[in-house]
Structure 1
Amino acid sequence: MSTQPRPAPSKVPPGERGATRIADRVVAKIAAQAAREVCAPAAGAPPHATVTVHHDIARVRVSLELGYPADLAAQCAAVRRQVAQRIEECAQMSVPEVDIDIEHLHSTHTRTAAGRDRRLR
């Protein structure tokens, strides 16, 4: 058995220690939560997001149900800004585009007697 002290490990700069990979589904959850922060909850489902990450670039698609009548373009622009900002903050990824799919529009004028929304077409 040797009683000599072990040499101290060499200090490796943080950028060279390894890599951190954030799963696409985690980035999708960040995007969906960010969309929820912007959209007033319509009577429908919460926003859903799908994400494809390549290196540090995230391509995002968010599906929403929005209230109507409203300025849909302004609501979509606000969602795009919030989603891109939140992903950049939380995951340090670039978000060059956020595609928005408006799945359903909910209107107070289309409420049925049972209190459910009819979907506008």
Structure 2
Amino acid sequence: MTAEPGAASPPSAPVPPGARGATRIADRVVAKIAAQAAREALPPLPAGAAVPHATVVVNQESARVRVHVELGYPCDIGAHCAAVRRQVAERVGALVDMAVAEVAVQVERLHPAPHGRA
């Protein structure tokens, strides 16, 4: 049985709100979240150190993050970098519901302690 031309089609069921549209979070927003997470993971910055900054590449629901940090010297560089990786992956995942495929930490500079301090 075929419908006659010009006959009204049956009403379709409404689309639930969760299935409508799309959400896109800009790379720069994810980068700001990653940079803030890196600041949270590190001890207070030495005098003259730049705050951490991040660059991000988002591919669908996954992000690759590169975080640039400056650290005090001497310090356990490996432990600081591991803390940054953990914090960035956790915060980006929690705040933007995005998988973090990679967090690369790049130490840009070491700042020696001022003379006379132990």
TM-score, normalised on structure 1? 0.79
Q: For structure 2, which runs of at least 5 residues remain unmatched after alignment?
A: 1-12
Deviation at 1:21, TM superposition (A): 0.2
| Aligned partner of 2:39 among 36, 41, 44 | 36
- SS for the counterpart of 1:83 is helix
Corresponding letter in the other structure for 1:80: R
Higher Cα Rg: structure 1 or 2? 2
Deviation at 1:13, TM superposition (A): 2.2
Which residue of 2 is the match for residue 26 of structure 1?
29
Q: For structure 1, which runs of at least 5 residues remain unmatched after alignment?
A: 1-9, 112-121
Distance 1:62 1:110, change over 3 A: farther
1:75 to 2:75 alignment: no
Q: How high is the sequence identity, in percent, across the aligned residues?
A: 61
TM-score, normalised on structure 2? 0.81
Corresponding letter in the other structure for 1:72: I
Counterpart Cα distance in 2 of 1:79 and 1:37:
8
Which residue of 2 is the match for residue 55 of structure 1?
60
Counterpart Cα distance in 2 of 1:18 and 1:38:
35
Q: Which runs of 4+ in 1 moved over 4 A?
A: none
